[in-house]
Structure 1
Amino acid sequence: MPTPLSTAAQVAEALHDVADPIEEAKIRNRVADDELVVGVRMGTLFDIAKSAVDLPGTELDALFEHPAYEMRLSAFCVLDFRARRNLTSDERAALARIYLDRHDAISTWDMVDRAAPRVLGWPILIEAVDGAVLDELACAEDPLRRRSAITAPLWFIKKGTSADVERGLAIASALDGDEHPRVRSAVEIYRKHARQRNASRD
């Protein structure tokens, strides 16, 4: 079993220890030109983040504030791994609040896709968080917030009722024709999964 990581510095060291120039080149294709990249394979990064799931709040904050892509992605992976635990409604609401408060740290679509369904969608589904936040995100200027608005409801498809799925489809309709390709692709992903669910229940 991997040794638990308890500081942001340990997470950073673990990521740098497995840095790979080939991975760095792959990642560089999907991040901003000025974004710092270490070069870590996604599966390896997930394993490291899982070892850091119990990071204290100040250490998790340090990951969110780090300039490197992998450090911030690790922070959102930590949220996702925490959301997989048996939590109370209040604990789920607290995770969702961290996600929303730290949304400015999201610089790529994969950070959204990794965390939004369980960390935000789950507490909305169980009404631990007001679902109106999805409408607010859908109206945001930042396309990654708009992607969060339609990616979080993927949890509705997984665990919700038909009415919950329709709530997500309403968000998809609100984002029809969005100017940003990462938002449009997320809308299509939601609709595809909604169709598959509906077909499986016919």
Structure 2
Amino acid sequence: MPADLSAERFIERLRALGSPFARENVERQFRTGAEDDFFNVRMRDVFDLAKEFVDLPPGEIDKLLDSQVHEVRVGAVSIMGKQFLKRQTTEARKKELFELYLKRTDRINDWDLVDVSAHQVIGGYLLDKPRDVLYELARSEHWWERRIAVFATLTLIRKGDLDDLFRLAELLVNDEYDLVQKVVGGMLREAGKHDRARLLAYLDRYAAVAPRLLLSDAMEHLDKDQRAHYRSLKAK
């Protein structure tokens, strides 16, 4: 491994990108109650640096996931997603990345960390494999693991493979956590682009009991009358 392709070097480079003017990360800390530290690096700069470290070995990525600095962990999952999608990445390495992701969900524990690459690493790996792990994650006591399960289906949805998303949406229709409700609604919206009838069937069954946040996101692309109809079911 080249000397400059290491977790230590990534952190060193990332720290140098910090700016007192990059307030969005600090402000986000107060919005979510996260206990992370921050370098105050803009997310686009984190992602650009991740491109330079796309070949970082899984062992070094694991070290990044140990960091208490939020942007370091964002960089770690960004590297994982980019490496997974790289044409030269072997199936063996993709499996390593998949297994590392699942092993370290304790460190992929906020919505933005999940959304950076769960669909690539988890969803991408499961395209041609059994999806039991999605249901294990969906039954987790940790909301971010439930979010991983749902967001991972984005890659499947884009391929027109909707079954797992709708099963998960039934399983999590009454989830108490807003960041799970929102991702369920968002993925239902995406699924509806491929099969509007199936989305409407789901709403016919669950609109009266689904949380408003889930319902609102799922209905985003419906017409005004349809949205009013499903909201009226909720109001009854």
TM-score range, shorter chain: 0.7 to 0.9
Q: Tell me which residue corresponds to 1:29.
A: 30
Following superposition, the deviation at residue 17 of structure 1 comes to 1.3
The aligned runs of 1:1-202 (5 Å cut-off) are 5-21=4-20, 22-86=23-87, 87-127=89-129, 130-159=130-159, 161=160, 164-199=161-196
Following superposition, the deviation at residue 14 of structure 1 comes to 1.6
Can you give the 5+ residue segments of structure 1 that lack an aligned partner in the other structure? none
Distance 1:154 1:33, change over 3 A: closer
- CA deviations over 1:101-138 (Å, ceiling 9, x no partner): 111111210111111111000111121xx310000000
Following superposition, the deviation at residue 157 of structure 1 comes to 1.2
Q: Secondary structure at the match of 2:41?
A: coil
CA distance in 2, matches of 1:91, 1:6: 17
Distance 1:39 1:118, change over 3 A: same
Is the 1:31–1:107 contact (alpha carbons within 8 Å) kept by the matching residues of 2? no
- Under a length normalisation based on structure 1, what TM-score does the superposition of the two structures give? 0.87
- CA deviations over 1:181-201 (Å, ceiling 9, x no partner): 0000000010000011225xx
Q: Which residue type is aligned with residue 143 of structure 1? A: W
Can you give the 5+ residue segments of structure 2 that lack an aligned partner in the other structure? 197-236
Following superposition, the deviation at residue 178 of structure 1 comes to 0.3
CA distance in 1, matches of 2:78, 2:94: 15
Q: Which residue type is aligned with residue 122 of structure 1? A: G
Backbone CA RMSD of aligned residues? 1.8
Q: Which residue type is aligned with residue 106 of structure 1? A: I
Larger relative contact order (CA 8 Å, sep ≥ 6): 1
CA distance in 1, matches of 2:182, 2:24: 24
Q: Tell me which residue corresponds to 2:208.
A: none
CA distance in 1, matches of 2:62, 2:171: 33
Distance 1:34 1:143, change over 3 A: same
- Matched pairs, number: 191
Distance 1:118 1:57, change over 3 A: closer
Is the 2:58–2:97 contact (alpha carbons within 8 Å) kept by the matching residues of 1? no
CA distance in 1, matches of 2:111, 2:25: 17
Q: What fraction of aligned residue pairs are identical, expressed as a percent? A: 31
Q: Secondary structure at the match of 1:103?
A: coil
Following superposition, the deviation at residue 93 of structure 1 comes to 2.4
